[in-house]
Amino acid sequence: MQIINRYICLEFLKGFGFILASLTSLSLIIDIVGRIRMFLSHNASLEQIVSYHAWQLPFFATMMIPASALLAALLIFTTMSKNNEIIALKAGGVSVFSVVKPLILLAALLASINIVLNGFLVPYALAKAQHIIYGEVQKRREVFTFKQNEIWYKDGAIIYKFDFYDPQQEAIKGVEAFYFDNDFKIIEHLRAPTAFWHNGAWEVQEATVVKVPSGDFPRFDRGKGYTLPLKEKPTDFVVLQRNTATMDSLQILRYAKKIRRSGDKAFSYLTEFHSRLAFPFVSVLLVIIGAAFSIKFGREGGMAGSIGAGLALGFSYWILDAFAVSLGKSGLLLPMVAAWSANIAFGALALFLLLRIRT
């Protein structure tokens, strides 16, 4: 039995590696074709073009792992079915579950690796890629700086620190403003829980202000009706919604907790966090579905039928997952439910197909 398991795992890994490389390369080529005009219009160097797409590789690879696992399982078991190897194994007293089991364990290992890559390596790589395309190629000025889940912004002699921006309320939460003189000595510090956009200005309803006169003791003042001398409008502050693609999983979770502590909802961030855990594990379910489908229908449909079934299954999962995640980010579904809905549905399908196989 160990020889059979080793043979199946080796054939699966060969197919998986080839399909993953092919799908990743295809995705990369499509991305290159789609962006080449932009690179040429900004006179990007060859080094910048190559570096950008090199940093994009981890994202494409992790996205293609489930599809590659599904197609590899379909191909190997379709081939075994057509060559009567499945029948021979059954005649020898080997159950189908014993044949599929090593691939399930292998898919679980791939899913675990994918969680780490998708949660930490991919955000780091995407941040590097975005810096190249926006900072080096398009030379956009970075107005806001993100540090330790906080947003820092300099406007003349004033430095602002914000916790986050709420686009629905048009409000900046966790506001601090540091005023400096010409010698870069702090002369005033304002702290307020919220700044609202009202009548064309950022108004603070309650604030604590510390003024530091030259050569005198600081004076504390707590009052209402302050206006921040910010030039930016709410449309300019949309960028303060942190880009989850460049945040690792722990940063997303900490940022979501920070938003919830302030009394606001963090549906988008929590859905993204749970989605990063749920998506890799679809590899396990797709391997079970692919194996069960091929063993039951492989002799009838052949290789073309298996590939067609794989594409249909992959597209169906993508549609269902995208729909559920969009509901979660909008608050219509609980984040955990939204992220795992597609997996639950495909898990039920995998169990149904597996139980239908004659062992």
List C-alpha distances in Å: 205 to 162, 196, 197, 226, 228: 16, 8, 11, 7, 11
Give CA–CA dist 121/161, Å, rounded: 28
Q: Can you tell me which residue has the tokens 């945040």?
A: 247
Predicted confidence band of residue 147 (pLDDT cuts 50, 70, 90): low
- When pLDDT is averaged across residues 168-190 and rounded to a whole number, the result is 89
Mean pLDDT in the chain? 88
Give CA–CA dist 133/139, Å, rounded: 8
pLDDT of 299 strictly over 70: no
Question: Which residues share a beta bridge with 192?
Answer: 175
Tokens coding 284: 């396990």
Read off the pLDDT of residues 72-112 as tens digits, 9 standing for 90 and up: 998 898 888 888 888 888 888 888 888 899 999 999 999 99
Q: What pLDDT score does 52 carry?
A: 96
Quick one: CA dihedral 78, 80, 82, 86, positive or negative? negative
Question: Is the separation of the CB atoms in 143 and 158 below 8 Å?
Answer: no
pLDDT of 246 strictly over 80: yes
- When pLDDT is averaged across residues 156-164 and rounded to a whole number, the result is 89
Q: What pLDDT score does 239 carry?
A: 56
pLDDT of 149 strictly over 70: no
Predicted confidence band of residue 296 (pLDDT cuts 50, 70, 90): confident
Q: What pLDDT score does 123 carry?
A: 94
Q: What pLDDT score does 42 carry?
A: 93
- When pLDDT is averaged across residues 109-133 and rounded to a whole number, the result is 94
- When pLDDT is averaged across residues 102-127 and rounded to a whole number, the result is 95
Predicted confidence band of residue 148 (pLDDT cuts 50, 70, 90): low
Predicted confidence band of residue 241 (pLDDT cuts 50, 70, 90): low
Question: Is the separation of the CB atoms in 214 and 242 below 8 Å?
Answer: no
- When pLDDT is averaged across residues 243-253 and rounded to a whole number, the result is 88
pLDDT of 140 strictly over 80: no
Q: What angle do CA 196, 198, 199 make, to 5 degrees?
A: 160
Higher-confidence position of 154 and 105: 105
Tokens coding 88: 């021979």
Q: What pLDDT score does 300 carry?
A: 63
Q: What pLDDT score does 240 carry?
A: 56
pLDDT of 359 strictly over 70: no
Residues listed for the chain: 359
Q: Can you tell me which residue has the tokens 């890629």?
A: 129
Higher-confidence position of 161 and 165: 161
Read off the pLDDT of residues 17-60 as tens digits, 9 standing for 90 and up: 999 999 999 999 999 999 999 999 999 999 999 999 999 999 99
Q: What pLDDT score does 160 carry?
A: 92
Q: What pLDDT score does 143 carry?
A: 54
pLDDT of 146 strictly over 80: no
pLDDT of 322 strictly over 70: yes
Q: What are phi and psi of 209, to 5 degrees?
A: -120, 130
Predicted confidence band of residue 61 (pLDDT cuts 50, 70, 90): very high
pLDDT of 308 strictly over 60: yes
Question: Which residues share a beta bridge with 175?
Answer: 192
pTM given for the model: 0.80
Q: What pLDDT score does 46 carry?
A: 95
